Amino acid sequence: MKQKLAIFLSGSGSNARNICAYFKNHEKIEVALLLSNKENSGAKAIGAEFKIPSYIFTKEQFYSTDEVIFKLAHFQINTVVLAGFLWLIPENLLDKYPNHIINIHPALLPKYGGKGMHGMHVHEAVWQNKETESGITIHLCSKEYDKGEVLFQTSVAIEEGDTPEIIAKKVLALEHEFFPRVIEEYLCVEFDDDLV
């Protein structure tokens, strides 16, 4: 049976769309559900495009009920991918998916992580500090923002004259190039281990 991914997103979802496209006809992995805390995120449109169900939930449902967990169980989800999802993951969800919630962060953690550090806020801080490089971190999710085990990092140079918007574009290009492949590698390595 295929590994089933659920993708959580809060924004437009360019990563979610890219991951759906990557795993479209994959032998071992499929995206089975898209979830969002925002009606106007990309979840519904991407779901319609790839014929994947989508589900929008409220803060109350997420933090005070098991409804999201029931939904994941209903779709037999093995792994949760956070692709621009901005809420802290509650303990009941972490407990259901030990080492199986994967997040992407648009900077080289541990720099520029933590509460409030997301999207353009990250790139603006990197720019303000005149960093000469930025990058991406793909990591397992834990109880604190941006603190779990790092699975993968890669960097990109920041040239003189780069604006926060240019940095954002460079970092997003890395995300699109590497996020699906890192998910695939992480899950397929596990498959191979299971077969031993």
Q: In the complex, which residues of this chain contact ligand GAR (CB under 6 A)?
A: 9, 11-16, 83-84, 104-106, 118-119, 122, 172, 175
Residue nearest to ligand GAR (CB): 84
d(CA 99, CA 179): 16
Residue pair 47/53 in contact by the 8 Å Cβ criterion: yes
Question: Structure tokens of 161?
Answer: 């004259």
C-beta of 105 vs 170, nearer to ligand GAR: 105
**DSSP classification of residue 22:** H
In the complex, least distance from residue 109 CB atom to ligand GAR, rounded to whole angstroms: 10
Q: Which residue has the tokens 């990591």?
A: 139
In the complex, least distance from residue 5 CB atom to ligand GAR, rounded to whole angstroms: 15
C-beta of 4 vs 38, nearer to ligand GAR: 38
- Choose, from 100, 105, 118, 123, the residue flagged as catalytic: 105
Catalytic residue status for 123: no
C-beta of 110 vs 119, nearer to ligand GAR: 119
C-beta of 128 vs 160, nearer to ligand GAR: 128
Residue type, 163: T
In the complex, least distance from residue 192 CB atom to ligand GAR, rounded to whole angstroms: 28
In the complex, least distance from residue 6 CB atom to ligand GAR, rounded to whole angstroms: 15
d(CA 35, CA 80): 10
d(CA 42, CA 161): 32
d(CA 119, CA 51): 27
Residue pair 25/50 in contact by the 8 Å Cβ criterion: no
Question: Structure tokens of 99?
Answer: 């080492």
Residue pair 36/68 in contact by the 8 Å Cβ criterion: no
Q: What are the catalytic residues?
A: 105
